[in-house]
Amino acid sequence: MIRYPGGSSPKPKNEKVVNKPRVLSSANRGMNLEEDINISNQYYIDKDIAVITKRPTPINVVKVDYSRGAIITNAYFEKQSTTDYNGVYRGKYLDFEAKSTKLRTSFPLSNITLHQIQHLKRVLKHGGIAFFVIRFEAFGETFLLDASFVIEAFKGEKRKSIPYHDVKRNGHLIKESYIPRLFYLEVIDSVYF
């Protein structure tokens, strides 16, 4: 069980982080989106708010040495054919992929696979909530963007990325704090419920 510091106040939208008396600066936090989401998910589980978990990275195991107690000695990483996270919140199915970029002008679609797009389309079709969590590291901003926008952008043959301003306009800025790192369920509340 993680101990959560009490009274952590989320920073207001678009506020610049200057001389804030916090343990973790926004700059530090921004370094690892996956860790931020995992910590937020653990908070949501411990506080009995939602059950959202990370799918383990799929690994193809080639060889296992049982003489040393099942040590994997030969294996390789496989591409995730679905998304990184899914779970249940307020009775609804949630499914999302998290990506961060160092770029300032756009969110590149190059490391999103067709399988992931197809998976998210299906989730939407069957009544789930599907979205992307997109962090622009240069600005320390993290957005929640409905999967439909990314699915649409993925269609255009020449469109290899989504401009920053489109993410900002169609997405929703996620408030950040110490714990949970990312208040993304607040956005879910206001956008989907």
CB of 158 to its own copies, least distance (A): 28
Sites of contact with its own copies (CB under 8 A): 45, 48, 50-51, 53, 55-59, 61, 70-77, 82, 86-93, 95, 119, 122-123, 125-128
Nearer to its own copies, 17 or 71 (CB): 71
Could you tell me which of 85, 78, 5 has the C-alpha nearest to residue 38?
85
Whether residue 75 contacts residue 63, with contact meaning beta carbons closer than 8 Å, is answered with yes
3-state helix, strand, coil in the chain (%, to 5): 30, 30, 40
Nearer to its own copies, 13 or 115 (CB): 115
Q: Provide the edge-to-edge strand list for the sheet that holds 141-146.
A: 51-54, 85-89, 92-101, 129-136, 141-146, 172-173
CB of 116 to its own copies, least distance (A): 12
CB of 182 to its own copies, least distance (A): 19
CB of 70 to its own copies, least distance (A): 6
Nearer to its own copies, 89 or 136 (CB): 89
The DSSP symbol for 66 reads G
Whether residue 43 contacts residue 180, with contact meaning beta carbons closer than 8 Å, is answered with yes
Neighbours of 128 (CB within 10 A): 17
CB of 28 to its own copies, least distance (A): 25
Nearer to its own copies, 51 or 138 (CB): 51
Distance CA 99, CA 108 (A): 10
Nearer to its own copies, 24 or 64 (CB): 64
